Amino acid sequence: CEPEMLPMNPENLRFHAGDGEAVANIYPLHHVQGFYEGMKAEGEQDIVFLCRSAWAGSQRFGAAVWSGDVYSTFSTLCAQLKAGLNMGMSGIPWWTHDIGGFRGGDPADPAFRELAVRWFQFGAFSPLFRLHGHRLPNTNDFGGAANEVWSFGDETYEILKQYMLLREHLRPYIMDQMRTAHEKGIPPMRPLFVDFPDDSACYSIDDQYMLGPDLLVAPVLEADAQSRKVYLPAHITWKDAWTGKQYEGGQWLDVPAPIETIPLFLKASSPLIEVFQNTNK
């Protein structure tokens, strides 16, 4: 279910619903609605569609939107974070992206392996967690080259495996956030200001986010980075998810971020602390 909404001349289009200039952007909504209602009529219950395009209300018809066939670069990775936050704030909580980017990237290239790790870390804390892409050097008829987690070398594989296991340990928490999204419309991945509206600093931060109410995620979005700045929202006591060190909110930290680490912080009262303690053993 991926309606193509490429650049077009809507004034030259005519849809069943009306003139293109007036209704072209609602085509993805009608598109997924048609599939959804058809599958419902056939008795299907748990219906999810992976969609390239969407419109307001698409979430009512099982639309899980991905960001399209994006390029394999750090600048594109940075754009994915902003896209995910905006998608959630637009009312569509089920969002995903092609980990590693879709276009390009050689699994044997150390630079791409670094990008793949950083993107994978971000993916592990996205609403939907997917590795996908057409890889170089185009030696395979389908997919370009191998793209499994073990395709990037032993060292990279050990890092990726750690995050797959952590994602599985977080399954109950993530399922709770999906249930909240279904019942209340609150996206699991959201800007800081959603949870901390009284902290003015949170309104200008677009490179970190909350995954549910307890977990603050600060992906590494630049090549060769070994640390990054992280803001901890005020009036909350936080714990570094990896070290257990405690911090008071309302301050910026320079957080170490070697290749195997994505900065993560938990509310000090969160039951997830036990999950990370068990994972870190």
Write out the H or E segment, with its range, that includes residue 227.
strand 227-232
* Choice among 9-13, 37-41, 132-136 with the minimum mean pLDDT: 9-13
At residue 245, the pLDDT reads: 97
Same domain, 218 and 124: no
At residue 25, the pLDDT reads: 87
Same domain, 17 and 155: yes
Identify the residue with better confidence: 2 or 206: 206
Report how far Cα 248 is from the mean position of its chain's Cα atoms: 27
Mean predicted lDDT score pLDDT of the chain? 94
Same domain, 48 and 156: yes
Answer whether 133's CB lies under 8 Å from 147's CB: yes
At residue 109, the pLDDT reads: 96
Provide the pLDDT confidence category of residue 254 given band limits of 50, 70 and 90: very high
Instruction: State the alpha helices, DSSP H only, in 91-170.
Output: 110-124, 154-169
Write out the H or E segment, with its range, that includes residue 133.
none
Same domain, 166 and 194: no
Answer whether 96's CB lies under 8 Å from 128's CB: yes
At residue 15, the pLDDT reads: 85
pLDDT tens sequence across 94-125: 999 999 999 999 999 999 999 999 999 999 99
Provide the pLDDT confidence category of residue 1 given band limits of 50, 70 and 90: low
In the numeric block, which tokens belong to residue 34?
A: 């048609």
Provide the residue range defining the domain that includes 98. Answer: 10-171
Q: How many domains does the chain have?
A: 2
User: How many Cβ atoms sit within 10 Å of the Cβ of residue 277?
Assistant: 11
At residue 281, the pLDDT reads: 67
Instruction: Determine, yes or no, domain membership for 230.
Output: yes
At residue 36, the pLDDT reads: 97
- The β-bridge partners of 220 are none
- Where among 171, 206, 221 does a domain terminate? 171
At residue 134, the pLDDT reads: 92
> Hey, is 169 helix, strand or coil?
helix
CA-derived radius of gyration, the chain? 20
- Domain of 230, CATH number, reads 2.60.40.1180
- Where among 171, 197, 212 does a domain terminate? 171
- Where among 171, 202, 222 does a domain terminate? 171
d(Cα 128, Cα 95) in Å, to the nearest integer? 6
pLDDT tens sequence across 16-75: 889 988 888 898 999 999 999 999 999 999 999 999 999 999 999 999 999 999 999 999
